[in-house]
């Protein structure tokens, strides 16, 4: 089984190794996040198995995906497990490999350009900058049930996220966006801190909304952004005004 990162969307961002394996596989097990342009490059006569994974619509539970990969490999097939971005960044790649190891199925991992890298580049936002950010945090806006209640809440390290001189990149954050902005302000981040939300970055469907922590949620709602969206918080977002180079023809 080859666990391959398909990058953030633009097929030109695939690694050479990813492309080569995509053209050699017998079966390709892929996620919703893999762009149609990337799927176009999978070997024409390979069997394609969609395993979904969008919010609220888990087409196949993770345990079943893990078992499926092992089963296909044990049938003697060359299996390509194609994932959006990088398999080891919020990609559950580790869990899929554990099951393969239990079944003694050999595997390799092929890194991909993660959304934070690809999307920030195409949005003209350097994640670090000598003057504005010496660190960068990748976090996932993960929802968790509150103790003793069924209400969902964000379980994040707000203190770490609120430090100055850093950039915070939030994966999967569209649902909790308003709460994230409020919590950061509560923890001392200026409400004027610039933020960008990028929809389908690196593709011709890329849309970018820039705002401040104070007015982000309203602007995102007004723009009607849909997943996948990546949120970037930090002074570096201001650089987009001069560095924005990618003009999708949407």
Using CB under 6 A, list all residues that contact ligand SAH.
8-9, 33, 83-86, 89-91, 114-115, 119, 171-172, 198, 200-202, 227-230
Which residue in this structure is represented by tokens 């079966």? 27
Which entry of 12, 32, 45, 53 is annotated as an active-site residue? 53
Give the nearest distance from C-beta 199 to ligand SAH in angstroms.
6
- Compute the half-sphere exposure of residue 47: CA atoms within 13 Å on the CB side of its CA: 8
Q: Which is closer to ligand SAH, CB of 11 or CB of 228?
A: 228
Other Cβ atoms within 10 Å of 233 Cβ, number: 27
Cα distance between residue 122 and residue 103, in whole Å? 40
**Minimum CB distance to ligand SAH, residue 76 (Å):** 28
Closest approach of ligand SAH to the CB of residue 78, in Å:
22
Kindly tell me which of 26 and 143 has the beta carbon lying closer to ligand SAH.
Answer: 143
Which residue has the closest beta carbon to ligand SAH? 85
Q: Which is nearer to ligand SAH, 80 or 130 (CB)?
A: 80
The alpha carbon dihedral of 65, 67, 70, 76 has a sign of negative
Task: Examine the residue annotation and report whether 31 is marked as an active-site residue of this protein.
Answer: yes
Name which of 176 and 194 has its Cβ closer to ligand SAH.
Answer: 176
- Residues with a catalytic annotation lie at 31, 53
């Amino acid at each position: 089984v080859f666990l391959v990162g398909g990058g953030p969307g633009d097929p030109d961002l695939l690694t050479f190794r990813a492309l080569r394996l995509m053209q050699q596989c017998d079966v390709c097990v892929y996620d919703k996040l893999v762009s149609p342009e990337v799927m176009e490059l999978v070997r024409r006569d390979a069997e394609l198995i969609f395993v979904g994974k969008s919010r609220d619509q888990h087409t196949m539970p993770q345990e079943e995906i893990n078992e499926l990969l092992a089963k296909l490999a044990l049938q003697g097939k060359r299996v390509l497990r194609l994932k959006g971005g990088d398999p080891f960044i919020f990609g559950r790649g580790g869990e899929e490999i554990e099951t393969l190891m239990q079944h003694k199925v050999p595997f390799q991992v092929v890194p991909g350009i993660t959304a934070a890298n690809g999307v920030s580049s195409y949005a003209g936002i350097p994640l670090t900058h000598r003057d504005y950010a010496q660190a960068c945090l990748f976090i996932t806006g993960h929802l968790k049930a509150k103790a003793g209640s069924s209400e969902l809440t964000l379980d994040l390290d707000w203190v770490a996220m609120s430090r100055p001189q850093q950039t915070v990149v939030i994966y999967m954050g569209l649902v909790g966006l308003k709460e994230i902005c409020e919590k950061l302000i509560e923890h001392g981040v200026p409400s004027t801190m610039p933020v960008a939300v990028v929809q389908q970055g690196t593709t011709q469907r890329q849309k970018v909304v820039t705002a401040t922590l104070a007015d982000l949620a309203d602007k995102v709602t007004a723009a009607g952004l849909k997943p996948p969206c990546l949120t970037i918080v930090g002074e570096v977002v201001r650089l987009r005004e001069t560095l924005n180079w990618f003009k999708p023809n949407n």
